[in-house]
Amino acid sequence: MLGGCGIVPGVGSETTTVDIWLMKDSVSDEFLNRFTTAYEKDNPSVKLKFTFQEWTGIGKKVTAALESDKAPDVIEVGNTQVAQYAESDGLEDLTLESVRDLGADDWLPGLAEPGSIDGSQYGIPWYAANRVVIYNKDLFAAAGITEPPRTRARWLEDSERLNNGGVQGIYLSGQDWYSLAGFVWDEGGELAVEEGGDWRGTLDTPAALRGMAFYKELQSHGDGPKNADEETPPQARVFAKGDIAQIIAVPSAATLIEKSNPGLKGKLGFFPVPGKTAARPGAVFTGGSDLIVPDKAHERAAAIDVVTALAGPKWQTDLARTMHYVPNKPSLAGVLEGEESTAAMAAGAARGRATPNSPRWADVEADNPIKPYMTAVLQGQNPKRAARTACERITQALAPH
């Protein structure tokens, strides 16, 4: 029986308070009220206390909490942050619970892999979000394209076909490195690999270079800037002008697009980033959240039971439908039937990946060498040489210090 369906083992008649940190806006009051009411009804000796945290500065705050004697019992963290926190030896090893109660073999890899360190599961997948292709249905129809592409080759053909008559086939900025990562993974490459305990950048491998070559060809079917990322300027605002056929973005960007241009309401479509063959979508970076339990949690048993409930099928289904997230298991994707945008996201999430599982990957992103590498290639510099420079910087950033 999954946790959350009865009295928490070991909890007596006295009330136990489980202190839970969630990130601001990660869930709605509607969802949280439903979960709290149901959980406390099933576990009358447990009270749930939720505190919302800001993403800005959360790393230092969580690290400090893990070191203190007043740590919360459950913390929501970004999936790629788990390695950083696990390095502190301040997390509870949840391997036994994840295998026994949660069906870990069916988790989304982009959430599960970052939570697993040296064979131990410290982060329990909670929800995911990833990029899809948002497209203008009117522009597709005007170009005679009757259905979204399912292969990379067809995607390039359609983008070239769309890129005529004052229309951009696709708006892809030059430094959208998350999208590049998916193309690299599709080719069998990696951003960085670990060998003998040391990490090194691998953008200069033949596979990774093929991913960059595909990015360059796709980017050429539009007029995206070569020396800026997708937020400079915000690509949703650019797309809202109505003369761009496609962008690669999370589905929530559609809300911003329609707000900027109400005339596009009902005219936006969504499809997974195409793969090399029609058999499966392309690989994508999976963002989202895992749940961790500090080693110094005062209510360990109750905390694990709460995590088990939140990560189980009942509340995963509720969360996905309420928040339009991807649930933590591909087998639950059917709950999104009828929701085009989220279903497209879920299809991609099944092939999702996360950034290299190094506790120092945040140091790479702080002064991200992948961005100038991409610009250099798009501006005609030698790809191999530019990649080697980026690899050297990545390796330096990932080195112990």
pLDDT at 1 over 60: no
CATH number at residue 88: 3.40.190.10
Would residue 8 count as lying in a domain? no
Q: How confident is the model at residue 382 (pLDDT cuts 50, 70, 90)?
A: very high
Q: Are residues 374 and 246 in the same domain?
A: yes
Q: Are residues 246 and 375 in the same domain?
A: yes
Mean of the pLDDT values across residues 252-274?
96
What pLDDT does 5 receive? 37
Q: Are residues 147 and 217 in the same domain?
A: yes
If you average pLDDT over every residue of the chain, what do you get? 94
Radius of gyration of the chain (CA): 22
pLDDT at 131 over 50: yes
Q: Are residues 154 and 257 in the same domain?
A: yes
Would residue 154 count as lying in a domain? yes
Q: What HEC string does the chain produce?
A: CCCCCCCCCCCCCCCEEEEEEEECCCCCHHHHHHHHHHHHHHCCCEEEEEEEECCCCHHHHHHHHHHCCCCCCEEEEEHHHHHHHHCCCCECCCHHHHHHHCCHHHCCHHHHHHHEECCEECCEEEEEEECEEEEEHHHHHHCCCCCCCCEHHHHHHHHHHHCCCCCECCCCCCCCHHHHHHHHHHCCCCCEEEECCEEEECCCCHHHHHHHHHHHHHHCCCCCCCCCCCECCEHHHHHCCCCECEEEECCCHHHHHHHHCHHHCCCEEEECCCECCCCCCCCEEEEEEEEECECCCCCHHHHHHHHHHHHCHHHHHHHHHHHCCECCCHHHHHHHCCCHHHHHHHHHHCCEECCCCCCCHHHHHHCCCHHHHHHHHHCCCCHHHHHHHHHHHHHHHHCCC
Would residue 103 count as lying in a domain? yes
Q: Are residues 230 and 196 in the same domain?
A: yes
What pLDDT does 7 receive? 38
Would residue 9 count as lying in a domain? no
Would residue 226 count as lying in a domain? yes
Q: Are residues 89 and 162 in the same domain?
A: no
What pLDDT does 338 receive? 85
Would residue 165 count as lying in a domain? yes
At 349-380, the pLDDT tens digits run: 999 999 999 999 999 999 999 999 999 999 99
**Total domain count, the chain:** 2
Domain that holds residue 327: 16-130+285-353
What pLDDT does 13 receive? 57
Q: Are residues 156 and 188 in the same domain?
A: yes
Q: Are residues 190 and 266 in the same domain?
A: yes
Q: Are residues 31 and 168 in the same domain?
A: no
Would residue 49 count as lying in a domain? yes
Q: Are residues 373 and 260 in the same domain?
A: yes
Q: Are residues 267 and 379 in the same domain?
A: yes
Q: Are residues 166 and 301 in the same domain?
A: no
- Which of 319, 336, 353 delimits the end of a domain? 353
Would residue 145 count as lying in a domain? yes
At 163-207, the pLDDT tens digits run: 987 799 999 999 999 999 999 999 999 999 999 889 999 999 999
At 6-64, the pLDDT tens digits run: 334 444 458 999 999 999 999 999 999 999 999 999 999 999 999 999 999 999 999 99
pLDDT at 70 over 50: yes
Mean of the pLDDT values across residues 321-347?
92
